[in-house]
Amino acid sequence: MRYSSPFLLFSASLVIFIHFSTIGQPSGPWSFRQCVEHALKENISVKQALINLEQSGNDLNTLRLQRLPAINSTINQSLNTGRVIDPFTNTFNEQTINSASFNLNGSVTLFNGFALNNSIRQQAHAFMAGQYDLELTKNNMVLSLANFFLQVLQQKELVGMAKAQRENAKAQVERNQKLFEAGALRADILNSLKAQLANDELNVVNAENALQLAKVNLQLLMMLKVSDNFDVQAPKLGGENYERALAAGIDELFKESVSRNPQIKGAEFREKAAEYGLKVAQAGHYPRLNLFGNVNTLWSDSRKSSIPGSTVFQVFPIGFVGNSLDTVFGVQGVPRFRTTAFGDQLSDNLGTTVGLGLSIPIFSQGQIRNSVKRAQTGKELARLNTEQQKNTLYQDIARAYTDFKAAMLRHQANKENLRAQKEALQFSSARFEQGLLNSADFLLARNNAQRAEAALIQSQYELLFREKILEFYRGGQVEIND
The whole-number pLDDT of residue 126 equals 96
- Among residues of the chain, what percentage have pLDDT more than 90? 46
User: Which of 28-37, 446-455, 462-471, 472-481 shows the lowest per-residue confidence on average (mean pLDDT)?
Assistant: 472-481
What lies within 8 Å, CB to CB, of 271 at 6+ separation is 379, 382, 383, 385, 386
User: Do the domain assignments include residue 405?
Assistant: yes
Query: Is 441 a member of any domain?
Result: yes
Q: Residue 86 falls within a domain, yes or no?
A: no
Residues 136 and 204 in one domain: yes
Residues 231 and 366 in one domain: yes
In this structure, what are the phi and psi dihedrals at residue 298, rounded to the nearest 5 degrees? Answer: -150, 165
- The residue range of the domain holding 50 is 32-68+112-286+361-473
Whether 238 and 318 share a structural domain: no
pLDDT band at 19 (very low <50, low <70, confident <90, very high): very low
Q: What is the pLDDT of residue 11?
A: 33
377/382 Cα distance (integer angstroms): 9
In a domain, 142, yes or no: yes
* Residue 173 in this model has a pLDDT that exceeds 90: no
For 25-50, what is each residue's pLDDT tens digit? 666 789 889 999 999 999 899 999 99
180 and 318 both lie in a single domain: no
Q: How far apart are CA 4 and CA 152, in angstroms?
A: 17
- For residue 167, what are the contacts with CB-CB under 8 A and spacing of at least 6? none
Question: Three-state SS for 356?
Answer: strand
Residues 309 and 414 in one domain: no
CATH of the domain at 207: 1.20.1600.10
Whether residue 319 is found in the same domain as residue 412: no
- Say yes or no to pLDDT of 115 above 70: yes
- Better pLDDT: 13 or 308: 308
Q: Are 218 and 152 in contact (CB under 8 A)?
A: yes
DSSP β-bridge partners for residue 356: 291
CB count in 10 Å sphere of residue 163: 16
Residue 168 placed within a domain: yes
Whether 75 maps to a domain, the answer reads: no
Q: Are residues 180 and 37 in the same domain?
A: yes
Same domain, 252 and 313: no
Long-range contacts at 237-246 (CB < 8 A, ≥ 24 apart): 237/153, 237/460, 237/464, 237/480, 237/481, 240/464, 240/467, 242/404, 242/408, 242/463, 242/467, 245/404, 245/467, 245/470, 245/471, 246/401, 246/404, 246/405, 246/408
207 and 328 both lie in a single domain: no
Domain count, the chain: 2
Tell whether 252 is covered by a domain: yes
Q: What is the pLDDT of residues 119-169, one digit of tens each?
A: 999 999 999 999 999 999 999 999 999 999 999 999 998 999 899 889 888
Mean pLDDT of the chain: 84
Phi-psi region of 313 (alpha: psi -120 to 50; beta: other; left: phi over 0): beta
Residues 411 and 319 in one domain: no
Q: What does the pLDDT average to over 441-456?
A: 87
Confidence of residue 476 (pLDDT cuts 50, 70, 90): low
Comparing 1 with 460, the larger pLDDT belongs to 460
Whether 449 and 418 have beta carbons less than 8 Å apart is answered as yes
Q: Does the structure show a pLDDT above 60 at 238?
A: no
Whether residue 291 lies inside any domain: the answer is: no
Same domain, 136 and 266: yes
Q: Are residues 239 and 151 in the same domain?
A: yes
